[in-house]
């Protein structure tokens, strides 16, 4: 931030101080715009845009994530409700209850907090939700639109990362990018958004042979593998941009960390996201932005 409160154009520095890509600051700036939309929506519709988060079971980290999501909604003038269902819920009851929630007129967005218990693993989540209320791009319809570059909602984490890059004026056009992780909520949609933005993308995963050969060639690496502090300086080329999606230790006693040993990147990477305070806050912001877009579209 410069003294006028504007984000200065960031020139990627070569070999100098690493730029810390501050997801909290980006989220704070975007929340001001969102608050304006939330207020206009409320004025026009005599109600707040409303997000429902469904949490099944009582996993510690998920409790933290859903609490943060609800608080963030309230901060920008939207409303949020967290439904806590027991881990023993049957698949039939779960499906029935989700249908009842999404039939409510005042519900604009629904988020199913993952992971769900194994007993629900047979449910086709991509067909269960209504795509008009699908705040995290779960439904097959929205996944398809997103893959085709046509979506009006995007998977929250990849969308949040694109917002961070755009905020810091890091253009990925023509860059050689590696995404580590191929999950449907992070790795794959990340590769689609980056491809759409003009990057040349290689999608790596647990079966990739000689992963380091790929990451060492990349101008920008997105690490979303879920392996605590597994990657460090020796895995990235000098001046690479490193985006760390991993979160470990949320809701527990230990310090929260990511997939990357962040402290090794100073003086090596040109820019990187910290954990906490990097991708996490922007995932939440994207969830709110998606919910707002869905609310506006239905209204
Ligand atoms: P996932 O377990 O569904 O997928 C992990 C992927 O990483 C898989 O495709 C797997 O092939 C790959 N992988 C695993 N080990 C690997 C290795 N050693 N080398 C290369 N690839 C490997 O996980 P996910 O839901 O995509 O989440 C990934 C991580 O990101 C987790 O730590 C999760 O907690 C975190 N996460 C953070 C946010 C956020 O807002 N910051 C959001 C979602 C997920």
pLDDT band at 58 (very low <50, low <70, confident <90, very high): confident
Q: What is the pLDDT of residue 31?
A: 97
Contact 69 CB / ligand 1 (< 6 Å): no
Nearest CA to ligand 1 atom 39: 280
Of 48 and 5, which is predicted with more confidence?
A: 48
Q: What is the pLDDT of residue 193?
A: 97
Q: What is the pLDDT of residue 19?
A: 96
Contact 247 CB / ligand 1 (< 6 Å): yes
CA of residue 205 to ligand 1 center, whole Å: 9
Q: What is the pLDDT of residue 253?
A: 79
Tokens of 240: 């690479």
Contact 205 CB / ligand 1 (< 6 Å): yes
Rounded distance between C-alpha atoms, residue 235 and residue 218, angstroms:
10
Contact 180 CB / ligand 1 (< 6 Å): yes
Checking if the pLDDT of 5 tops 70, the result is no
Q: Which of 278, 222, 280, 287 is nearest to 64 (CA)?
A: 280
- Cβ count within 10 A of residue 254: 9
> Per residue in 243-256, pLDDT tens?
999 999 987 778 99
> Per residue in 127-145, pLDDT tens?
999 999 999 999 999 999 9
Rounded distance between C-alpha atoms, residue 37 and residue 78, angstroms:
10
Q: What value, to the nearest 5°, has the Cα angle with vertex 69 and ends 40 and 177?
A: 100
> Per residue in 267-285, pLDDT tens?
999 999 999 999 999 999 9
Distance in Å from the first CA to the final CA of the chain: 36
Tokens of 208: 């990739």
Of 284 and 61, which is predicted with more confidence?
A: 284
DSSP-assigned beta bridge partners for residue 202: 178
Q: What is the pLDDT of residue 7?
A: 42
Ligand 1 pocket mutation, candidates 137, 155, 186, criterion most atoms within 8 A of CB: 186
Ligand 1 pocket mutation, candidates 136, 160, 226, 284, criterion most atoms within 8 A of CB: 226
> Per residue in 93-121, pLDDT tens?
999 999 999 999 999 999 999 999 999 99
- Cβ count within 10 A of residue 71: 11
pLDDT band at 12 (very low <50, low <70, confident <90, very high): low
Checking if the pLDDT of 13 tops 80, the result is no
Share of the chain above pLDDT 70, in %: 95
Q: What is the pLDDT of residue 98?
A: 98
Average pLDDT of the chain?
93
CA of residue 78 to ligand 1 center, whole Å: 30
pLDDT band at 3 (very low <50, low <70, confident <90, very high): very low
Q: Where are the alpha helices (DSSP H) in the chain?
A: 23-45, 60-75, 91-103, 125-128, 140-147, 156-167, 187-196, 211-215, 279-298
Q: What is the pLDDT of residue 267?
A: 95
Tokens of 142: 């929205």
CA of residue 114 to ligand 1 center, whole Å: 12
Contact 183 CB / ligand 1 (< 6 Å): yes
- pTM for the whole thing? 0.94
Environment class of 232 (CB within 10 Å of its CB; exposed 0-12, middle 13-18, buried 19+):
middle
CA of residue 225 to ligand 1 center, whole Å: 3
């Amino acid at each position: 931030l410069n003294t006028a409160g504007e984000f200065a154009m960031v020139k990627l520095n070569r070999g100098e101080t690493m730029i810390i890509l501050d997801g909290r600051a980006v989220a704070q700036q975007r929340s001001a715009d969102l608050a304006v939309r939330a207020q206009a929506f409320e004025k026009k519709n005599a109600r707040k845009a409303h997000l429902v988060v469904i949490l099944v079971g009582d996993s510690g980290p998920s409790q933290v994530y859903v609490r943060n999501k609800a608080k963030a909604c309230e901060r920008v003038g939207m409303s949020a409700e967290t439904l806590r269902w027991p881990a023993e819920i049957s698949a039939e009851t779960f499906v029935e209850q989700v249908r009842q929630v999404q039939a409510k007129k005042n519900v604009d967005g629904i988020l199913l907090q993952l992971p769900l218990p194994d007993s629900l693993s047979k449910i086709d989540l991509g067909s269960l939700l209504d795509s008009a209320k699908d705040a995290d791009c779960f439904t097959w319809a929205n996944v398809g639109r997103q893959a085709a570059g046509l979506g009006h909602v995007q998977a929250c984490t990849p969308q949040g990362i694109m917002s961070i890059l755009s905020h810091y004026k890091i253009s990925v056009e023509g860059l050689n990018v590696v995404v580590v992780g191929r999950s449907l909520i992070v790795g794959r949609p990340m590769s689609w958004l980056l491809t759409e933005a003009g990057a040349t993308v290689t999608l790596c995963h647990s079966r990739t042979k000689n992963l380091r050969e790929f990451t060492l060639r990349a101008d920008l690496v997105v690490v979303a593998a879920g392996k605590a502090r597994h990657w460090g300086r020796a895995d990235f080329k000098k001046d690479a941009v490193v985006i760390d999606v991993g979160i470990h230790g949320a809701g527990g006693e230990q310090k929260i960390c990511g997939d990357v040993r962040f402290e090794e990147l100073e003086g090596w990477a040109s820019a990187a996201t910290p954990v906490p305070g990097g991708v996490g806050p922007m995932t939440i912001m994207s969830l709110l932005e998606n919910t707002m877009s869905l609310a506006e579209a239905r209204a």
